[in-house]
Structure 1
Amino acid sequence: MKYQSFNEEIIRLIGGKDNIQAVVHCMTRLRFTLKDRSKAKTEELKALDGVIDVVSNNVAYQVIIGTHVSEVHAELISMLGIAPNSNEETEVNEKKNPLKAAMDLLSETMTPVIEPIIASGLLAGFLSLFSITGLISADSPTYQLLDSIRSAVFFFLPILIAMSCAKRLKASPYLAVALAATLVSSSINDVAGLSIFGIQLPQMVYANSFIPIILAVWFMGQLTVLLKKYVPKFLQYFLNPLLIMVICLPVTLLIFGPIGIWIGDGIGWFFEVLHNTFGSWIVVMLYAALQPFLIMLGAGNFMMPLALNFVNKMGYDPIFLAAATISDLAVSGAMLGYFLRAKDSKQKQLFGTVSFSALMGVTEPAIYGVFIKYRRPFVAVMIGGGIGGLFAGLMNVKTYSIVWGLMGLPSYADNQDFSNLVFMIISVVVGFVTAAIAAYILGIPQEEKEGQKKESLNENDQAKLATLKKVPLASVVEGKIVPLSEIKDQAFSTGALGKGLGIIPSDNRIVAPVSGEVSAVFPTKHAIGIKTEQGVEVLIHIGIDTVELDGKYFDTIVSQGDSVKQGQLLSTVDFAEIQTKGYDPTVIVVITNTMDYLDVVPVARENVVADDECLTVIL
């Protein structure tokens, strides 16, 4: 544990484990409910390295840590052996577009399942290579035993999918697995002539499938919620599991099984029509060119269910897995191009490291560490990946196993299809080399050139340049300005969390004071963090002790990771109701990394309206 010794000291100074009744966390502080506050050694806690301040009031005993408090809290409750307060840890339920919600579910479900799928796919590739070279005979016991890993992973895929998606769909993972195991059992899977309640069932193959079990687990989650609502609590432990299984199995066999298979067949039919009409090369080319964008958008795993469907129906994937491998190698090539072009040793180290990572099939470091910052590598990958994907599509390259990356290349020779392997190798080399050349020609991104220009200035010039730079912050809400020293919260009034000011609001709209990225949105919606391109970290704390309201009266419309513009609406707050409940509505704005700058200067005026400058950060 990163904070184990720190937490041990906190526990000791606060009176020991037995003195702690509960502990939750706010945006910056641990909030303890103590059995006896007199046992806490407050002054020693304040002096503890890592503690900013300690505030004890009628709300809670609060130990102010900083914005990394969530990490400290996670380890602390583990050491204490107590559960986090549900009010503080409740997730915000957002309404999503149904299609986006379905895509998110598929992506999140496939992520933990990828591990055994990759293992089985790579194993299949190496077994194919060993068989071709004569190292192991396909009829030998060794080959058969190792191949059973591959066949078992895909045969029992519904069980893996059920375990992965159950909690997301509010179902019991164990009941979901039991249902999936029932579907792939020898008494149901691919058995003809079955009937239930006198209704004839179609002959269905559930092994290797994934859509029927996802639909079934979704229904199980809905049924679970319904039964908890209407079945008496003293009967739920015994009765609910029985009702869930007895109801879910026939519904799955009668409805979700056929629907899932039809959806799978429909996907296959769509791409078959596309292939016969235009050629699958279009899809292969586009996916190989655009995969980095999909990864950046969090949709990198959306192709996995489609690839699985192809392998189940056709015995190979004609599109996605080959395109993914070509794209990964194009990313590696683009980073190699920048490695060869860069002169700065730190840049060379960065580009070389992420190039090797992408070569091994892990492209996230390159995409998030380089692509987003410099942008031009996207163009290089689109060129290299697109050309490599075009060649693979035109040559009808097939992926016989669920695997991608260099380690999976042997699987392309499965079924003695050596020409398929050769075409795939050519596609990968074309994508890699073309992306490297394109990146080298595109040159060093402008951001780096500007950085080198700044480095060429002498120290005096750099100091003068720094004194001329500032970041102005507009008001987050209309109202009356209050000096930070007058805020009725010691953590803020002492400046422990950084310099800033308070605003007594006269409007219900909270807007962004600067442009930047939303670095944090607390689950109870009372605090929002924004980080600017210059690195300024802004904390907007709405009201004092309003964490206790658990999000009530707050309508926050941004999420962590969102990009916002200055003046953009962040949240709507019913301040009248907050005051009615006895809470101070003052909105506090502080720069949490104040020490990184020359100064943070509040504006010298009494009232502010929208777009008025209220703070200035001197860089």
Structure 2
Amino acid sequence: MQYQALNNKIIELVGGKENIQAVVHCMTRLRFTLKDREKADTEALKSIDDVIDVVNNNVSYQIIIGTHVADVYDELVTMLGIKNNTDEIVADKPKKNIVKSILDVVSESMTPILEPIICAGLLAALLSIISLTGIISVDSSTYKIFDALRTAVFYFLPILMAMSSAKRLGASPYLAVALAATILSAPINGVAGLTLFAIPLPQITYANSFIPILLAVWFMGYVTKFVKKIVPNTLQYFLTPLLIMLITLPATLIVFGPLGYYLGEGIIQFFNLLMKYVGSWFVMMLYSALQPFIVMLGAGNFIMPVVAALIASDGYDPAFISSATISDIAVGGAMLGYFLKTRNSKQKQLFGTVTLSAILGVTEPAIYGVFVKFRRPFIAVMIGGGLGGLFAGLTGVKAYSIAWGLFGLPAYIGKGDFMNLWLMVTAVIISFVGAAIAAYVLGIPAEDGIPSQESVIKPKKLQADSESHYTTLSVDSVVDGKLVQLSEINDAAFSSGAMGKGVGIYPNVNQIASPVTGTITAVFPTKHALGITGSDGVEVLVHIGIDTVELEGQYFEVLVKQGDTIESGQPIANVDFEKVKAAGYEIPVIIIITNTNEYLDIIPIADKDVKVNESVMNIILR
């Protein structure tokens, strides 16, 4: 428990467990209902490093913690052994979509390892070009050394995945990497005849895959929590890692490895039945459309035994290698479509980079870096790849060797069969153009990570001195009124800057507007606070009044709900400020940038009268 020491001090200084009748929390503070407030040592509480301030008013005893208060609260109620009875946590939490949750975990785990994946993709493209031009022979040591870098990235993908997913899934990164290295080791990876506790293990190749290790690390996260609960603190350092590995490694070899293996076997049998009873044309169309999903599942290499058997018996592969190439080119087409569509320079750079590697037969950078995160490219490839695969299947395209990508096209000549080559080239063009058009038309919604052109907050230049300029983003006023500096707000949680930099505005109208274009990420049930994430990643808290949480939503009307996409200046709430003041509450509307630390600086404007859509802060980018 990360905040156990802090919570122990708080419990002691408010008079012990027996003095706590109830506790809830809002955005920044713990709100205690104490049986006897005289037992609380306010000055001692204020002296705790992690406590910003203590407020003792007629309604509750408040300990201001900061934006991480929810985590402190969760541990506190566990230690107190009372029901989590807060009614001030963010309202309207959407129901979890299991598919989206899984894709989010995969996407978040893949993002940190994009650098080596993109490096490997570009290196593959470079090696293909220089080998065909004869600059370097594929048999030379120079080629093999650089090719080792390319192959190593994908061979050791389980290790990279373990490292990047561990913290997200609650496991130790070092133990996760140790687990991945173990299943990739020579005694396990691809070895036949293994048994564990007299249980026979199937022959499984873990290299180039990530689903087994991702499942294993997910399981390790739960094992970690369990082991830490049962092992005494004095033995944690020695026993915890050992017990985690003793439980997780067998589970990986017995459960998660075979799960991926049988998934691959099922795919092979499925396509074999289709080729036998429906026709190879249908298989080519289906595989060309679905290959990105198959690669994402780590099952891309499971077709190799089938392909090798087909070429050995018939001299050619009637479906799979051709489909893989068509699908790869379709991936490149989809990325080109998004490259042409987006106006976001960072995303344009990413799309342009992965386009080339996909065309040359390495789609992992696109699939792991773009498809899993943005979803819609899958549809574009299904359209373009499906059309190209259908054409190739109907015209009987054959692959005479195991080679794919743009520079694998000579494999379709066979013994002088140039018509087969031209048919394959036509199929590739169909898939590329079809996917590019589909991607351009589909676009990527702002909530998937790329803001629409209309929603981009346009940077402007703020002159710092005569020699340098900083690129800045602007945050607008949420209400017409008098702007004051945050230090003038009569609430330590805000005036101290502990929650982030910002401004306060004393309103002279009753309507509150959004300060940025983005998405509503939090709406408090008491309606006094809203969280907004801007299209450029700026995280904004709009807090209406001081201690107005105690009004429990009275005099407040929220016009949006969590998940809504909004524009800067769009009304988000109405407040009867006269009645709020009459009830005895101060009414500044506070705008806080809660991810202040991600920026070089945040500079509020000077005190003056402001209006909605007028800039009140400049965020200086790093």
TM-score by length of structure 2 reads: 0.50
